[in-house]
């Protein structure tokens, strides 16, 4: 399915038309109006024109094709880890990370009735973040493309035994009642989003500001290659705040790593660390240097 439920479709068409009139202000996001990506876009830039897209690929394509100046994409959640497929999509997109945003996540259970409920629809991340709540009540989690889209789907179905887990605004948009508030399993539930653009930021423009740099790399297939590649960050005092691995292709012989560091190219310590990393790599691709929104460490 590559379309929105009927209750969301009219709002999507209105927002798409508005963004088409002024693409320079448009920020694409994945999901239906009212989802957390929509919230993140408005928090990041209250004057933007949010552009809903059905999939992450669609949101990235909107920027590549000039229908939006930026995309805002969730990359990891404090409870449920990294968002599926993002580590593949970002390098393949050809876009650059130009910002980050941390969004406090609060989920509500919403429906047409007060229950009891047989199934809860939402994005897999939201279902995972609320799994204890659902399990304790015997509600079966059902994956949907996004949180607000799930709310629109429940409204469209008209089934009193179906509910959705979504931001509060989705209930207002699609005529559902809030049955339970803050059903996430952790009160400090937070999702980190990244902002992407066709043009990277010049690291020199961030002089005097705290910055993050994100890159992906594949080390040479020799013993201790990763250990040696990481040594430059330790000896130069560069803080690596994130290092994740994922398989590239079906051979399981080449592992790609995704990393965030504090600092920017142009800083001598960062340059030395990246130079040493490159020496031990088959591939090193910079995804962007951007202002740090939240201090690490």
Task: Give the angle subtended at the CA of 208 by the CAs of 204 and 209, to the nearest 5°.
Answer: 90
Are residues 158 and 214 located together in one domain of the fold? no
Are residues 19 and 68 located together in one domain of the fold? yes
Q: Is 185 contained in some domain?
A: no
Q: Is 208 contained in some domain?
A: yes
Are residues 44 and 68 located together in one domain of the fold? yes
Catalytically annotated residue among 54, 133, 193, 215: 193
Are residues 20 and 101 located together in one domain of the fold? yes
pLDDT at 249: 67
d(CA 151, CA 112): 10
Backbone angles phi, psi at 285, to 5 degrees: -130, 125
Flag whether pLDDT at 109 surpasses 70.
yes
Total count of domains within the chain: 3
Catalytically annotated residue among 54, 117, 191, 256: 191
241 is catalytic: no
255 is catalytic: no
The token duo for 76 is: 């990891």
CATH code: domain of residue 252: 3.30.70.260
pLDDT tens-digit series, residues 150-184: 999 999 999 999 999 999 999 999 999 999 999 99
pLDDT at 253: 67
Q: Is 296 contained in some domain?
A: no
For the chain, what is the mean pLDDT? Answer: 94
pLDDT tens-digit series, residues 44-91: 999 999 999 999 999 999 999 999 999 999 999 888 888 877 888 999
Residue-number span of the structural domain to which 115 is assigned? 108-180
pLDDT at 19: 98
Q: Is 285 contained in some domain?
A: yes
pLDDT tens-digit series, residues 234-253: 999 999 999 998 877 666 66
């Amino acid at each position: 399915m590559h379309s929105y439920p009927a209750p969301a479709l009219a709002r999507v068409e209105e927002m798409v038309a508005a963004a088409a009139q002024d693409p320079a202000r448009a920020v694409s996001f994945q999901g239906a109006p009212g989802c957390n990506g929509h919230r993140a876009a408005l928090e990041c830039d209250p004057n933007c024109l949010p552009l809903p897209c059905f999939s992450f690929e669609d949101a990235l394509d909107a920027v590549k094709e000039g229908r939006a100046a930026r995309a805002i994409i969730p990359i990891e959640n404090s409870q449920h880890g990294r968002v599926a497929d993002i580590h593949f999509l970002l390098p393949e997109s050809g876009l650059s990370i130009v910002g980050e945003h941390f969004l406090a996540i609060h989920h509500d259970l919403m429906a047409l009735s007060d229950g009891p409920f047989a199934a809860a629809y939402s994005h897999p991340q939201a279902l995972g973040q609320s799994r204890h709540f659902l399990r304790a009540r015997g509600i079966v989690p059902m994956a949907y493309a996004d949180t607000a889209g799930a709310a629109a789907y429940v409204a469209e179905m008209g089934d009193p035994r179906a509910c959705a887990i979504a931001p509060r605004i989705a209930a207002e948009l699609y005529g559902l009642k809030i049955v339970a508030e803050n059903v996430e399993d952790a009160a400090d539930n937070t999702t980190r989003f990244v902002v992407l653009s066709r043009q990277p930021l010049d690291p020199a423009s961030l002089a005097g500001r705290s910055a993050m740099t994100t890159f992906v790399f594949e080390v040479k297939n020799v013993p201790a290659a990763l250990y040696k590649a990481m040594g430059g960050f330790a000896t130069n005092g560069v803080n690596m705040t994130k290092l994740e691995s994922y398989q590239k292709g079906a051979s399981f012989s080449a592992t790609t790593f995704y990393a965030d560091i504090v600092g920017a190219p142009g800083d001598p310590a960062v340059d030395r660390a990246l130079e040493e990393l490159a020496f031990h790599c088959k591939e090193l691709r910079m995804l962007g240097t951007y202002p740090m929104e939240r201090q690490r460490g």
